[in-house]
Amino acid sequence: MDTFLIPWFDHIRSTGVIDAFATPFSNYTPPYLYLLALVTPLGVVLPGLTVLKLLSMLGTVSLAGALWRLFSALDAPSPQRAAALTLILPSTLLNAPLLAQCDAMWAAACVMALAMAVERRHASMLTWLGLAIAFKLQAAFFGPFAVALLLNRRVGMHLWLIAPATAFATLLPAWAAGWPIADLLTIYVRQTGHFDLLSLNAPNPWIIVQALPVLQDLPLQGYAMAIAIGGSVAYIAWLAARRIGPELILPAALLAPLLLVSTLPRMHERYFFLADILAFALAVTMRNRAGWSIAALVQIGSSLAILGYVFDTQALSMLGAVAMIVATYRTAKLATRSIDNQTAETSSPIPREAIARPATTGGEVFSASA
């Protein structure tokens, strides 16, 4: 925080809300910086760190609102009460009040994209996905699910352009203020070059592998990237060929970030945050032991990793990795079982459009059956 967030906050206060964007001053994309600029006047009466944490907690409130929208779309019981529980999840408490991170903001946009997917509002889904990616590149962890869903439902390729167009639109105010467009378009490229470790406290298998001296001479980052890409392609091919009904949509959506963050190199301790939230949503909608056990494992894995980062104890991240591996296995098993159940329920001939109904031109077809 002292290295990044506080200096950015001070820069905006000293130069002005608009003039601050005349030159590059952050390695974050503009959407978060716009919000930061809006709350900088509070710095007159509150310490900068307090203002940063308040902004992050507002992001958590927006995440609760997005979950309420998702639970309503899925006809979950007591959606308001369930969504409010988001505010006291261990990972959200550690992420915003402790670390002053903005992960709840991009996760909220991903959850809204999922709610739109449930309702078959594909244009809205892609708009929310574009906004999520504009906030943080980690929103790409939702990407394999989104791609598989769009392929499965035969959504027109012209609608796919909505996501990058939305992300680009968020850059325009900063560009208009003077921030060079070339710099804005390469922020994510520069972010990827900051770290070289196989795992940066992420509770995934690589945190264990990189601690084994016998493997240090192998090109592990290349292997990890190949596994992640291959796994994503296999996941997309698998899901795109299935009937994505109500029983499958949440397990499948959760499996995407679990698989990607488990296999990609250079992952941080917070990068399972979307999985934390989707696992909680799965538990709320399933209302059984299997769902809550997955949610508990994911929360334990993420919380241990964050505590390992705070206390500089890698052993905690390794323990978290074990919990996350088990959670990923159980989620994959649940998704497979959901497909088997749907196959059994639809063993008699069914209309083709019930399996993969094309989207309308506007992509706004409403159906709670996902």
* DSSP notation for 70-131: HHHHTT-SSHHHHHHGGGG-HHHHIIIIIT---HHHHHHHHHHHHHHHHTTBHHHHHHHHHH
For the segment 278-290, the average pLDDT, to the nearest whole number, is: 97
- Joined together, the tokens standing for residue 219 give 């090109």
Q: Is 244 a domain residue? A: yes
Q: Is 15 a domain residue? A: no
Instruction: pLDDT band for 82, please (50, 70, 90 cuts).
Output: very high
CA–CA distance from 340 to each of 25, 26, 242, 335 (Å)?
52, 48, 10, 9
Task: Give the whole-angstrom CA distance, residue 323 versus residue 201.
Answer: 14
For 214-254, write each residue's pLDDT tens digit.
887 788 999 999 999 999 999 999 999 999 988 999 999 99
- Joined together, the tokens standing for residue 171 give 């850059």
pLDDT surpasses 80 at 295:
yes
Q: How many residues are there in the chain?
A: 370
The dihedral over CA atoms of 270, 273, 279, 280, expressed in degrees to the nearest 10, equals 110
- For 4, other C-beta atoms within 10 Å of its C-beta total 11
Find where tokens 């109904």 sit. 357
- For 27, other C-beta atoms within 10 Å of its C-beta total 12
Q: Is 53 a domain residue? A: no
- Joined together, the tokens standing for residue 363 give 């992509």
Q: Is 160 a domain residue? A: no
In terms of Cβ atoms closer than 10 Å to its own Cβ (0-12, 13-18, 19+), residue 221 is middle
Domain span at residue 231 reads: 195-346
Find where tokens 């990972």 sit. 91
* DSSP sequence for 156-201: -HHHHTHHHHHHHHTTHHHHHHT--HHHHHTHHHHHTTS---SEEB
One-letter amino acid of 30: P
Q: Is 57 a domain residue? A: no
pLDDT surpasses 60 at 18:
yes
For 43-62, write each residue's pLDDT tens digit.
999 999 999 999 999 999 99
Question: Which helix or strand (DSSP H or E) is residue 268 part of?
Answer: strand 267-268
Exposure on the CB side of residue 339, measured as CA atoms within 13 A: 14
Q: Is 352 a domain residue? A: no
- For 214, other C-beta atoms within 10 Å of its C-beta total 6
Q: Is 267 a domain residue? A: yes
Q: Is 366 a domain residue? A: no
Q: Hey, which residues does 268 pair with through a beta bridge?
A: 200, 201
- For 147, other C-beta atoms within 10 Å of its C-beta total 18
Instruction: pLDDT band for 196, please (50, 70, 90 cuts).
Output: confident
pLDDT value of position 346 = 58
- For the chain, the C-alpha Rg in angstroms (whole number) is 21
Q: 317-351: b or e for each residue (b if 16 or more CB lie within 10 Å)?
A: bbbbbbbbbbbbebbbebbeebbeebeeeeeeeee
In terms of Cβ atoms closer than 10 Å to its own Cβ (0-12, 13-18, 19+), residue 125 is buried
pLDDT surpasses 50 at 334:
yes
